[in-house]
Structure 1
Amino acid sequence: MGGRQAVPDPGARGTKGTHRVSYSREQWVETADSLLTAAWRYASPDQAFLDLPGRPSRSGVRSDGLEGYARTFLAAAFRTAHGDDPHNWLERYAAGLAAGTKGEWPEIFDVGQPMVESASVALGLRLTKPWLWDKLPESVQDRTEAWLRGALRHVPAANNWYFFPYTVASFLEAAGRGDDETRQAKRRAMELLHGWYRGDGWYSDGDGRAFDHYNGWALHLYPALDAFLDGKPITTHLKEHLESFHLLFGADGAPVYFGRSLTYRFAAASAIALGAVTGETPLSPGHSRHLIGTTLKYFLDRGALTDGVLSLGWHGPHEASLQPYSGPASPYWASKAFVCLLAGPDHPLWTAQEERQDENRTLALPGPGLLIQRHNGVTRLHNHGSDHVRPFEGEHATEDDPLYSRFAYSTTSGPTSKHNVPDNHISLVIRGDRSVRRRIHPLGARDNWAASWHRPVFDAHQPMVPGLRIESVTAVWDDQELRIHRVIGAPPGTRAELTGWATDLPSPLVGVRGWTGADRRTAPQGTAFTGTASVPTLTADIEGTVTLVAVAVLNGTVADEDWEARTAEILRLTLDGDG
């Protein structure tokens, strides 16, 4: 079909406030079957590997093939978790399990990709236990346990990875094979999770301040789903998380493009679905169904499938959306969205009237240091707290990460690549070296504003300037953004540069105070949303302490307002006051 694959049409029927009904449960099932059918064309003869097309990861082809097996198994498990398996998916995965555990699969080792995949294998086995695990010969069960226990005996990465051995341990306990080792794995993960909590329902992905979609598709999903399957209370602040997280989707279903591993695409909706399944949600069932359905449709309508297979990218293939660990099967963590199928056909998630809520709203999150701005169906996320800098990396690391370092992200634009002009960024240029924003220190968030400070970091040729720092505030009204930056301690010869939104649509950046030059710069590698992007840029020569103010708009025009007066008011409330 020339690249794009036909997907179930959610229909043209409508409810109040929308022109169509998002996917029914039957259509979610059909989508899962379609994805699995396409992926299984690439199965190895013994069915232990699914060697999907695409660039290999740094882990090697055997690990990539295991990833194909494990992540598609997760989709099959959610699809068959009620015992409905007309395509005999579980028979295939049982055969692959028997072959893989005979030594075909790579062993689990410290901070290795097989540890990641062990969690999907274990969760798949737990969800399908009566129909797959319980029917396996004891020898295969023993081999499977031996392979899985490698996750309990090796070191995970110091972040959400601790929930991979946690999930393995949960399955072994559900299968009657728990012991001190499994209990310790679960206890350790939960102890770490509690230490990573930063408030407002948000966890950092490990020590430090890394906030991204891993909150929903990992840090909440694994322990909350485990508690739900065990019939125990959920203790991960999932309901509180969804109070803000549900706003991070556009009216068209697009998630906010921020953080790593975005090739997982509609996995971003898994936390919404999990909340509906478990009841730990502030959202109505009809609103939850609308959100997960429009997110699935958003990607399927925009070329996420190439010949039926999820490609490495965002809409279609997109190299800049990938991480070094991304392999051909990596996108199939999108399978987590099918957690919605744990809700049976009579569940309110599928029977309640669909609700579309597109109200304009601003929400400040002081815990993670984020400010959400939703206007006319587009969500912007203003970042004054998430930096993905590990404590041991120190203040002076010079590597810029566009997925965490920018001041703003949205549901209609992505950051430019690190090799292009940075969007939504303030930099200082001293003797030809341009600074980056690394460690972010939150100063507060309340009502319609958020604030932070950072030390400008230069490359190895330009040492840190003692006392140099930038204090920043973003305040929003309707679709307008007031961006205030106070530069402290700039040496003579410093040039300041501020950039706005990287998009192919009109998105002005207008100087209010301090800026003396304005132009537009091209980002030839574009973003995940457009092939090339034009980035508005303001410049000024500065020295000492100076306050620079601008107004930015995404896909609109700057309102004719007294921005100087607004600047004075927001400074009084934040940097000059009790913020």
Structure 2
Amino acid sequence: MSPRQLHITVDDFGTRDRACAVLKRIIDPVKPFYSPSGARLDIGSTSTWYENDTIPMEAFSRVLWGLTPFWAGGGHDADFERIVHDGLTAGTDPNHPDYWHPCHDYDQKFCEMASIAFSMLFAPAQVWDPLGDEAKRNLADWLNEINRHRCLSSNWTFFRIIANVALLKRGMPYDAAKLKAGVEFINSLYDRGGWYSDGVNGDKDYYNPFVLVTFGVLYALFMADEDPDNARQFRERAYEFGRDYIHWFSPSGPSPAFGRSQIYRFAQVAFFSACVVAGIDVFPLPVLKGIIARHLVDWLNRPIFDNAGVLTIGYGYPNLRMQESYNAPGSPYWGLEAFLFLALPADHEFWRVPAAPMPQLEPRHYSEATRTIVQRGSDGDVVLLTPGLVGADRHAHDIDKYSKFAYSSAFGFSVAHSMMSVRENAPDSMLAFRIDGFVYCKGVAELLRADSRGFAIRWSPCRGVRVETTVEATEHGHVRTHRIMSDVDCTAYDCGFAVNNDDLRRPTRTVGGAHARCDCDGLFCSVTALADGPDDRDGADGADRQPKPLIIEADPNTNLVHPKTVIPAIEYAITAGRPVTVRTAFDYLP
């Protein structure tokens, strides 16, 4: 059996022992790669924006996302207990060669303090109590580095909060003022519907279930006595968030690829796992178990491990193209946050109830907080229609990760290899312009309208081209209307989803008239030109020829879910100085 997939079923989460066995299959393969001191885990050679010295420390800490609930619920692994004990001792000892070193402003190590702090809270018997007095003082002093330096004003603030909570609960020096200020800042990020912005005017993406909402649930779990008002508020927001967030999940398990940090994969379900541990009944326990189990089954049966069984950078398969500058070889193990439910003891009701199907959800759901329409197809696909408002000077491939018109749980999304050709750009779910040999797509956009019907935005892919786009949801997909004014002759491509083009799966394609369609494995995307040519209100001819349907052969490994894809599209010829309105229908829901 290939180590690249685990080949598990929902039944593997029927008992705690079986679920622990799944976790062990994920984390046991890294055991040979720890340093003799245990403080460093070396599982790759790629680098990041932060220091190479931090990379093996990050890997050490991220495995704790799985080990901590494993221990908290009654698990035992002598090897890992020794590794973590020795690693924490050596890593925080200034005189040891594997010392993790003091921090600086905006240090990546602040992120890694979160899993260590949670291990001190959830599993003190395995993590804190065995340490000697000097090692405890060293660990506490090292964690207090997060109080001595500036921290990003975003989800990172929760790392400082949780580090201080852990120090408080273990009776060590902490910064009460920064703890209080941190909670106040997190509260200032709250918008509505359970959703937070990730920083002032920041995104609403998976960092809500990764950190902002989920850490609030865990804060409430440990600080209910000391801070009852905020604990109650975090729990209430979590309940409201869960009622909205469930719409992102397919009946078969996956949720849409969207936004940054997709290498954390199954951390998408960590929020529901935290709800189970904290007793937040956002849905009945069997429903929560079903969401968690199906999500993990879907992920762990994908080829996301290497031949040594180590998690890879990527999404549906190993892929360095889509990574951000902060993704290191150990980064994907943040996904183990999904296993928080292992903190439940073996006699908890969670292990006795069945994994129930998803509750009945409407086929179209509008979220006021995110300005997102969530569509559900009878084939199980979940699609987000989003205005995609992207700021400047951000993370790698943010245009691809936030600024497309639609994101899918089945089709994923693509990241551009270059701007030199349409196939290298792989502009799925975008309107792309080819000008002077380069390809340009939507980035920053101005929101004109957003409601349950759709949205309207104004944007410019490059200097000299101005576009107003309206996206209207339909029963089987959506319709885009683009009003384009260009100062240069150019070609526009209105593109659908990237469809699997694995020749072993026997994909099919159809091109004819004003229509292009691709099918594979029961999934399809159909693109049809509905209108093209002159805008009668302006009395000017904006197009020199009829729309042309085509299939774009995207470069290999541009898509997050499938290594080889094709994109159905309509090509429009745009004439300089002549406004044109084009309408394209996209069908992908049966």
- TM-score normalized by structure 2? 0.83
Q: Deviations over 1:186-216 (max 9, x none)?
A: 3333333233333222222222342221110
Cα distance change of structure 1 residues 500 and 5 upon mapping to structure 2, 3 Å threshold: closer
Distance 2:309 2:294 in 1: 19
Q: Deviations over 1:447-469 (max 9, x none)?
A: 3x2213132131xxxx366xx34
Cα distance change of structure 1 residues 249 and 268 upon mapping to structure 2, 3 Å threshold: same
Kindly provide the amino acid, as one letter, of the partner of residue 565 in structure 2.
A
Select between 71-80 and 271-280 the one with higher mean Cα deviation: 271-280
Match for residue 512 of structure 1?
A: 530
Query: Does the 8 Å contact 2:250/2:409 carry over to 1?
Result: yes
Select between 431-440 and 123-132 the one with higher mean Cα deviation: 431-440
* Structure 1 residue 105, shift from structure 2 partner: 1.2
Check if 1:139 corresponds to 2:134. yes
Distance 2:88 2:195 in 1: 36
Match for residue 161 of structure 1?
A: 156
Kindly provide the amino acid, as one letter, of the partner of residue 315 in structure 2.
W
Cα distance change of structure 1 residues 442 and 279 upon mapping to structure 2, 3 Å threshold: farther
Check if 1:270 corresponds to 2:270. yes
* Structure 1 residue 403, shift from structure 2 partner: 0.6
Two-structure CA RMSD over aligned residues (Å): 2.7
Check if 1:47 corresponds to 2:38. yes
Distance 1:3 1:297 in 2: 15
Cα distance change of structure 1 residues 342 and 386 upon mapping to structure 2, 3 Å threshold: farther
Distance 2:316 2:461 in 1: 33
Gaps of 5+ in 1: 12-20, 557-579
Give the match's secondary structure for 1:152: helix
Distance 1:341 1:137 in 2: 27
Distance 1:473 1:8 in 2: 39
Match for residue 221 of structure 2?
A: 228
Give the match's secondary structure for 1:457: strand
Select between 507-516 and 212-221 the one with higher mean Cα deviation: 507-516
Kindly provide the amino acid, as one letter, of the partner of residue 260 in structure 1.
R
Cα distance change of structure 1 residues 332 and 492 upon mapping to structure 2, 3 Å threshold: closer
Given the alignment, which residue of 474, 477, 480 partners 1:476? 474
Query: Does the 8 Å contact 2:323/2:396 carry over to 1?
Result: no
Check if 1:415 corresponds to 2:413. yes
Check if 1:172 corresponds to 2:176. no
Kindly provide the amino acid, as one letter, of the partner of residue 228 in structure 1.
L
* Structure 1 residue 546, shift from structure 2 partner: 4.4
* Structure 1 residue 106, shift from structure 2 partner: 3.4
* Structure 1 residue 495, shift from structure 2 partner: 4.4
Distance 2:398 2:130 in 1: 51
Q: How does 1:81-230 map to 2 (within 5 A)?
A: 81-87=72-78, 89-103=80-94, 104-179=99-174, 181=175, 183-230=176-223
Distance 1:342 1:443 in 2: 46
Q: How does 1:7-22 map to 2 (within 5 A)?
A: 9-11=9-11
* Structure 1 residue 241, shift from structure 2 partner: 1.4
Match for residue 293 of structure 2?
A: 293
Give the match's secondary structure for 1:156: coil
Check if 1:329 corresponds to 2:330. yes
* Structure 1 residue 33, shift from structure 2 partner: 2.4
Query: Does the 8 Å contact 1:369/1:385 carry over to 2?
Result: no
Select between 137-146 and 276-285 the one with higher mean Cα deviation: 276-285
Query: Does the 8 Å contact 2:448/2:458 carry over to 1?
Result: no
Cα distance change of structure 1 residues 524 and 433 upon mapping to structure 2, 3 Å threshold: closer
Check if 1:524 corresponds to 2:526. no
Number of aligned positions between the proteins: 531
* Structure 1 residue 81, shift from structure 2 partner: 1.0
Give the match's secondary structure for 2:111: helix
Q: Deviations over 1:11-43 (max 9, x none)?
A: 4xxxxxxxxx85543222112223332111211
Distance 1:546 1:348 in 2: 61
Match for residue 500 of structure 1?
A: 496
Select between 297-306 and 257-266 the one with higher mean Cα deviation: 297-306
Gaps of 5+ in 2: 418-424, 501-518, 534-546
Give the match's secondary structure for 1:507: strand
Kindly provide the amino acid, as one letter, of the partner of residue 378 in structure 1.
D
* Structure 1 residue 45, shift from structure 2 partner: 0.5
* Structure 1 residue 60, shift from structure 2 partner: 4.2
Give the match's secondary structure for 1:298: helix
